[in-house]
């Protein structure tokens, strides 16, 4: 028995050590760093100077951070509503027994297989482009003037629309897995009792998917909080107010960027802590509001 425990410990040790070094230590160091003035990430701890909550007050009063948080809320709320609603709709349709459901699942999930860089480039160059983009071709065909989809006013919404397109398939598969786990007997009994498809959805499917909905909301919050690649691809030259998000502001603060006079790794760490607290808060709220049904398993 002792030999078995020793072997188990030896097999787990590499994973535990990697977890501690690659995840736990950086998290602890980041939290501690957020309470110090740190000029660079490579600065020795002896060069850190304690300044309490000053880093948090600094970012909260920074116009760039405030703009990035507004954009984050737009991505989280607007993008989340459309993405999760469309994903759920697709999942319900594709589990209803329609023909060629395998093909439609693959087609809807396909954007998740394509590189995000290639996907964003496609939207920027071939759909939103002012001169030859698909949208402006349709607009002019209808007799209207071309629209600058990547102009300052519309750029954020264009970016959100592209991100929604690339995200629906991922969440659709999560919902499909949840729907397929609901006992078919419940639907058969409801059909015999004369319940319509809409009533079955609101009385059976949706209540039994509360756990899945909580998961997708949490995942979406994480994706919205770490929304870096799409922002950079829609503003590749320099950071713009229309597309800046908290992680881009964090990067510019730590490594330098537009409008950054002095690099401050401590303030960047504070941004990371704030985003983490937001994700934890969303998780706690969804756990309180969406209590799983007793029938769910």
Render each residue's pLDDT in the chain as its tens digit; 297 residues.
566 777 788 888 888 888 888 888 888 988 999 999 888 777 777 788 888 899 999 999 988 899 999 999 999 999 999 999 999 999 999 988 788 888 888 888 888 888 888 888 889 888 998 888 889 899 898 888 888 888 877 889 999 999 999 899 999 999 999 998 888 888 888 888 888 888 888 888 888 888 899 999 999 999 999 888 888 888 887 888 888 999 999 988 888 766 555 788 888 999 999 999 999 999 999 988 887 655 443
Q: Model-level pTM?
A: 0.86
Q: Report the C-alpha gap between 29 and 48 in whole angstroms.
A: 12
Q: What is the largest CA-CA distance in the chain?
A: 80
Angle in degrees, CA 70, 82, 222, rounded to 5: 55
Q: Report the C-alpha gap between 238 and 31 in whole angstroms.
A: 28
Q: Which residue is it, tokens 């499917």?
A: 205
Could you report the per-residue pLDDT of 221-259, keeping only the tens digit for each?
Answer: 999 998 888 888 888 878 888 889 999 999 888 887 665
Q: Is 237 helix (H, G, I), strand (E, B) or coil?
A: coil
- Could you give the C-alpha distances from 249 to 29, 69, 203, in angstroms and in order? 20, 10, 44
Q: Give the pair of three-digit tokens for residue 163.
A: 């991100």
Q: Specify whether the CB–CB gap between 190 and 203 falls below 8 A.
A: yes
- Residues forming beta bridges with residue 37, ordered by sequence position: 49
Q: Specify whether the CB–CB gap between 258 and 252 falls below 8 A.
A: yes
Q: Please give the domain boundaries of the chain with CATH numbers for all domains.
A: 62-289 (1.10.3720.10)
Q: Report the C-alpha gap between 197 and 99 in whole angstroms.
A: 18
Q: Give the pair of three-digit tokens for residue 133.
A: 């983009």
- Could you give the C-alpha distances from 78 to 22, 69, 96, 159, in angstroms and in order? 34, 14, 27, 12
Q: Is 250 helix (H, G, I), strand (E, B) or coil?
A: helix
Q: Specify whether the CB–CB gap between 205 and 213 falls below 8 A.
A: no
């Amino acid at each position: 028995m002792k030999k078995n425990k020793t072997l188990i410990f030896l097999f787990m040790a590499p994973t535990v050590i990697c977890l501690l070094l690659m995840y736990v230590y950086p998290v602890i160091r980041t939290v501690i760093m957020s309470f110090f003035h740190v000029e660079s990430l490579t600065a020795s701890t002896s060069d850190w100077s304690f300044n309490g909550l000053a880093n948090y007050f600094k970012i909260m009063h920074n116009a760039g951070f405030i703009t990035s948080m507004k954009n984050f809320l737009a991505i989280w709320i607007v993008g989340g509503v459309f993405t999760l609603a469309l994903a759920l709709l697709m999942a319900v349709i594709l589990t209803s027994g329609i023909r060629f459901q395998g093909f439609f699942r693959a087609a809807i999930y396909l954007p998740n297989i394509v590189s995000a860089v290639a996907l964003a480039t496609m939207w920027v160059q071939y759909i939103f482009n002012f001169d030859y983009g698909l949208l402006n071709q349709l607009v002019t065909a209808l007799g209207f003037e071309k629209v600058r989809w990547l102009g300052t006013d519309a750029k954020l919404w264009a970016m959100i629309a592209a991100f929604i397109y690339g995200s629906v398939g991922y969440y659709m598969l999560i919902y499909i897995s949840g729907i397929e786990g609901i006992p078919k007997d419940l639907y058969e009994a409801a059909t015999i009792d004369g319940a319509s498809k809409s009533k079955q959805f609101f009385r059976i499917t949706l209540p039994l998917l509360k756990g899945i909905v909580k998961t997708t909301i949490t995942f979406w919050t994480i994706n919205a909080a770490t929304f870096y690649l799409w922002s950079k691809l829609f503003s590749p030259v320099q950071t713009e107010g229309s597309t800046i998000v908290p992680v881009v502001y964090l990067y510019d603060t730590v490594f330098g960027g537009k409008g950054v006079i002095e690099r401050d790794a401590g303030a960047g760490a504070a941004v990371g802590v704030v985003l983490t607290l937001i994700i934890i808060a969303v998780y706690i709220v969804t756990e309180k509001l969406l209590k799983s049904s007793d029938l769910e398993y």
